[in-house]
Chains A and B, each alone.
Chain A
């Protein structure tokens, strides 16, 4: 009985992950827009600020992190909206599986389609912004961990605002305070490495945030969805 129940819970995660990835593949233009935004803005910075490497390298890490955060925030709004409108969210709420698992499936799909591409293109942007070469590995590591936190925390905000018609601004206000520690330690990881310090401590704190948000955010999002669904 226990093993049977476990198998069903598994399938809840896998089914929603597969479905959301397939949906993302079908709407690839729409899904790519955060990444394109990320690349475009980062290309504009040297034009707007200065093309001088000495000045750019000071701001490179922070700029890349700010862009990554805004790009994630941009995509967060739509996480549950279409599911809410066409009734599939209601179906998710009445599945016998534990709600956090299908939600984690959805959030994983979201990260794979936004956070992961952002992480993968970040060395290229580092090059454009003359980030010193020692900073590349810390940048990729910090973004890989940090964007997961951003997706997970954003999902809680998206779950809270899903029943509002124009929840976008409220969502940003809600999740912004929780994004601040992520960006602080994310940029610290890169700037420590650039300054020749040990960059593992800030990365470890980012890892702790990652662990905490994986454990807590799906539960919080599930609770939030139950509240919004009963309105």
Chain B
């Protein structure tokens, strides 16, 4: 291998309550890659993404960022990563603008795009001052996705990003992902939708065979 991949996963396994959720997961992601994780409900897509963020510990195998184990370069890795989970982390009592402002402030790297502009781009112009409990589920997701526009992180992990977003939103998000990989970033996402994205690779998460306990 001549070039060190941005992220590589080697022989990853995860056990939950003494039963193996998945094992032997191997893939690597280079700059400009778009990887879709597929699998049935409960096959461990969210768990895999959470393992990648480092908030869960794998029971076997390791994750390498630029050739280094992520436990050894935590700060550098986490600064270069953006994770948007199943729950959009939107506070209902805060307005869209306030929500986005703290999300940006508490995450690592950001570009010069203003919070207002980002919200306008995700189609929330005119809703920025309203408390989020007055907004719909799809709009909550849009608030969280506005972080993508501000973030400078190269690795994006998106857990079901298309949930409750309308058709235009799906098209917008896809173009956003396309732009990100064109700039040299990488995206790993889990979704059940068929995406019309060029260069999309798929990784199928298979239920593990009970070989040992």
Contact = CB atoms under 8 A, between A and B. Distances in A.
Contact of B102 (A15, A82, A96): A15
B78 interface: yes
B105 A23 contact: no
A8 B91 CA distance: 23
Interface in A107-164: none
Interface residues of B, number: 30
B83 A22 contact: no
B135 interface: no
A88 interface: yes
Contacts, number: 78
Interface stretch (B28-36, B50-58, B182-190): B50-58
A19 B74 CA distance: 25
A94 B53 contact: yes
Interface string B82-94: 0101111111111
A91 interface: yes
A94 B103 CA distance: 12
6 contacts: A14-B105, A26-B131, A86-B91, A87-B87, A90-B55, A93-B55
B108 A230 contact: no
A92 interface: yes
A39 B53 CA distance: 45
B92 to A, nearest CB: 8
B106 interface: yes
B114 interface: no
Which 4 residue pairs are nearest across A and B when measured between Cβ atoms?
A87-B87, A15-B105, A96-B78, A26-B93
A23 B83 CA distance: 23
Interface of chain A: mostly helix, strand, loop or mixed: helix
A185 interface: no
A95 B107 contact: yes
B56 A11 contact: no
Interface of A: 5, 8, 11-12, 14-16, 18-19, 22-23, 26-27, 82, 85-88, 90-97, 102, 229-230
B60 to A, nearest CB: 15
A95 B106 contact: yes
A88 B91 contact: yes
B81 interface: yes
Nearest to A90: B85
B88 A87 contact: yes
A9 to B, nearest CB: 10
Contacts of B91: 19, 23, 82, 86, 88
Contacts of B75: 5, 96
B108 A8 contact: yes
B120 interface: no
Contact of B86 (A12, A87, A91): A87
Contact of A11 (B88, B89, B98, B105): B105
A97 B102 CA distance: 14
Contacts of B81: 94
B106 A11 contact: yes
Contacts of A16: 102, 106
B11 interface: no
B158 to A, nearest CB: 13
B83 A12 contact: no
B79 interface: yes
A94 B83 contact: yes
Nearest to B85: A87
Interface string B128-154: 000100000000000000000000000
B108 A96 contact: yes
B94 A90 contact: no
A87 B85 CA distance: 7
